[in-house]
């Protein structure tokens, strides 16, 4: 008799399990081999912006301050050409109950779970989202299980992930820690099925809609501060939900002229599911190991159709190196008096570099911060890197080789955001989508153009180059 809980059998039931655990019939929104009605899904499966604001205020989420980083702005202007050096601002999301913008996503997801009558929530995450779900579950008196990919085969765990486990447990959640590899999704599915709990996925419509308030607040706050919208908003990009939700909120506020910039830590060459490489990186989120694959194949997430679709909104995508983010983390503490965790400082490192390209009368904002704690500080992370054979150097970060060394900038002028080729990313997305389609219709072409922020002519050109045809 076949084992119901074998890997093959559980994975074969994943769509059935997910439908039960999320409460959304994604097939209702399908409209082609590739296309689906994204906006209808967001409208019908999520909540309105006004509803989300009300929900979040009830649970002390959102309405976070914007802080002008005057000393970092002065530093950027000293390095910039004459007349350049935009004012740098920060949206301080660390003031949310769980210490990060993820509280916005978790607040709506857990509220929805309670509304539907679920007795508990489960999230598969090694990041701040686990703490956010645990915090909100505690407020709603729901059970909570957080599944972490935490260790390599030597049972060595990264200090940042272990720190987040402690925070989840402090909120009363059960934390299940696993080794790196395919077992994470398998164990996650088994838990959803056996407990009957709600899947508090990062990628549901209500989770992404929860971040829309962040972008909406940015527009409203800047209009009060300086009388207009920001020129550029830099979003740390991993799975795409942060950027997607922020951009949608800015659009709903009418800030259609604001440039949306994605920023990720460069971890080129490191495989996120590799046992030997898992602990040779110092960033567990906000890096290219998530940012690029989730941008070019968003539906790789734990729901059939991800609501996080960054290429639909992104104008520019840059990377910064690990040493640069560590440097900015320390600079933020020492010259601005704000100690914040590393992931949010990815966008700040990029903003510091990009500000030097912009005019002095322009403004740029890094749209998130996160809390810091024992395992998230620079020293434990750098010490852990050294213990795992990563060399620590001072010099030019452009010479950093991921997994081999971390190079802290000798001087701040060496912090340089590097642009990724947007059209190359868009082409990769289209190739991935087409490779999984039985046929390609006109509606698929239109959807791909919208989802990549391009044109139907661009999409057709890429399909023609890879030898595809549409009906």
Q: Are residues 280 and 358 in the same domain?
A: yes
Are residues 436 and 403 both part of a single domain? no
Is there a domain that residue 456 lies in? yes
Cα 100 to Cα 198, 293, 313, 370: the distances in Å are: 22, 23, 22, 4
Q: Is the pLDDT of residue 181 over 90?
A: no
Whether 31 maps to a domain, the answer reads no
Across residues 261-271, what is the average pLDDT? 94
Note the pLDDT of residue 444: 95
Whether residue 203 is predicted with pLDDT greater than 60 in this model: the reply is: yes
On whether residue 188 sits in a domain, the answer given is: no
Q: Which of 177-191, 299-313, 403-417 has the lowest mean pLDDT?
A: 177-191
Does the pLDDT at position 415 exceed 90?
A: yes
pTM (2 d.p.): 0.96
Percentage of residues in the chain with pLDDT exceeding 70? 99
Flag whether 190 is in a domain: no
pLDDT average, residue stretch 91-111: 97
Q: Does 1 score more than 70 pLDDT?
A: no
Claim to verify: residue 327 and residue 363 sit in the same structural domain: yes
Residues 265 and 301 in one domain: yes
pLDDT value of position 2: 66
**431/403 same-domain check:** no
Instruction: Check whether 266 has a pLDDT greater than 80.
Output: yes
In a domain, 201, yes or no: no
DSSP state of 202: T
For residue 299 the two structure tokens come to 């539906």
C-alpha span between 418 and 428 (Å, rounded): 19
96-105, pLDDT tens digit by residue? Answer: 999 999 999 9
pLDDT at residue 470 above 70? no
CATH number of domain containing 77? 3.40.50.1100
Distances from the Cα of 123 to the Cαs of 41, 115, 183, 303, 438, in angstroms? 21, 18, 15, 12, 33
Q: Looking at the structure, tell me whether residues 68 and 92 fall in a common domain.
A: yes
Same domain, 378 and 392: yes
Judgement on whether residues 276 and 328 belong to the same structural domain of the protein: yes
234's CB contacts (< 8 A; 6+ apart) are 261, 262, 263, 347, 348, 350, 351, 354, 364, 365, 366, 367
Q: What is the distance between the alpha carbons of residues 188 and 271, in angstroms, rounded to a whole number?
A: 21
Q: Are residues 448 and 370 in the same domain?
A: no
What pLDDT is attached to residue 468? 64
Q: Are residues 407 and 439 in the same domain?
A: no
List beta partners, residue 157: 151
Overall domain count for the chain: 2
pLDDT score at 471: 55
C-alpha to C-alpha distance for 249 and 240, rounded to whole angstroms:
14
- The Cβ of residue 142 has, within 10 Å, a number of other Cβ atoms equal to 20
Quote the CA–CA distance of 16 and 13 in Å, as a whole number. 5
- Which of the listed ranges 117-131, 345-359, 364-378, 454-468 does the model predict with the highest average pLDDT? 345-359
Q: Which of 122-126, 177-181, 236-240, 451-455 has the lowest mean pLDDT?
A: 177-181
pLDDT confidence of residue 342: 86
What is the Cα–Cα distance from 206 to 117, expressed in whole angstroms? 16
Instruction: Look at residue 160 and tell me if it is in a domain.
Output: no
pLDDT for res 243: 98
What's 277-329 look like in SS3? CHHHCCCCCCEHHHHHHHHHCHHHCCCCCCCCCHHHCCCEEEEECHHHHHHHH
Same domain, 369 and 390: yes
447 lies in the same domain as 332: no
Residue 350 belongs to some domain of the structure: yes
Q: 72 is in which domain, residue-wise?
A: 55-98+206-419
Q: What is the pLDDT of residue 45?
A: 87
């Amino acid at each position: 008799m076949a084992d119901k809980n074998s890997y093959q059998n559980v994975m074969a039931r994943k769509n059935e399990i997910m439908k039960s655990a999320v409460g959304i019939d994604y097939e209702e929104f399908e409209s082609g081999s590739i296309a689906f009605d994204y906006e209808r899904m967001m409208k019908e499966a999520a909540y309105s912006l006004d509803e989300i604001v009300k929900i979040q205020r009830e649970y002390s989420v959102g309405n976070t301050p914007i802080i002008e980083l005057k000393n970092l702005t002065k530093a950027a202007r000293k390095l910039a050409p004459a007349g350049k050096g935009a004012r740098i601002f920060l949206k301080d999301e660390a003031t949310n109950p769980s210490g990060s913008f993820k509280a916005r996503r978790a607040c709506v997801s857990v509220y929805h779970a309670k509304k539907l009558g679920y007795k508990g929530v489960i999230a598969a995450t090694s990041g701040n989202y686990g703490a956010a779900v645990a915090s909100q579950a505690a407020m709603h008196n729901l059970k909570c299980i957080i599944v972490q990919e935490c260790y390599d085969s030597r049972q060595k765990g990264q200090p940042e992930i272990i720190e987040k486990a402690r925070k989840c447990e402090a909120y009363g959640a059960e934390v299940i820690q696993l080794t790196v590899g395919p077992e994470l999704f398998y164990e996650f599915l088994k838990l959803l099925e056996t407990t009957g709990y709600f899947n508090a996925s990062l990628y549901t419509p209500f989770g992404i809609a929860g971040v829309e308030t962040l972008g909406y607040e940015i527009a409203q706050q800047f209009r009060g501060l300086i009388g207009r919208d920001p020129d550029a908003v830099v979003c740390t990009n991993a799975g795409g939900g942060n950027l997607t939700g922020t951009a949608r909120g800015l659009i709903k506020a009418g800030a259609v002229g604001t440039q949306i910039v994605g920023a990720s830590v460069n971890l080129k060459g490191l495989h996120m599911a590799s046992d030997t490489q898992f602990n040779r990186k110092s960033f567990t989120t906000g890096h290219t190991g998530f940012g690029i694959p989730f941008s070019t194949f968003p539906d790789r997430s734990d729901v059939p159709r991800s609501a996080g679709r960054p290429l639909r909104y992104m104008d520019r995508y840059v990377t910064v190196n690990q040493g640069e983010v560590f440097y900015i983390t320390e600079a933020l503490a020492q010259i601005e008096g704000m100690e914040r965790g590393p992931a949010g400082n990815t966008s700040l490192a990029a903003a510091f570099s990009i500000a030097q390209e912009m005019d002095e009368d322009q403004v740029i904002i890094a749209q998130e911060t996160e809390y810091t704690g024992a395992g998230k500080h620079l020293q434990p992370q750098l010490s852990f890197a050294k213990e795992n054979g990563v060399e620590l150097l001072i010099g030019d970060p452009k010479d950093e080789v991921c997994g081999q060394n971390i190079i802290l900038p000798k001087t701040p002028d060496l912090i340089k955001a590097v642009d990724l080729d947007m059209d190359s990313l868009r082409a990769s997305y289209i190739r991935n989508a087409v490779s999984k389609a039985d046929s390609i219709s006109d509606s698929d072409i239109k959807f791909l153009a919208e989802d990549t922020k391009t044109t139907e002519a661009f999409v057709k050109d890429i399909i023609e180059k890879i030898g595809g045809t549409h009906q």
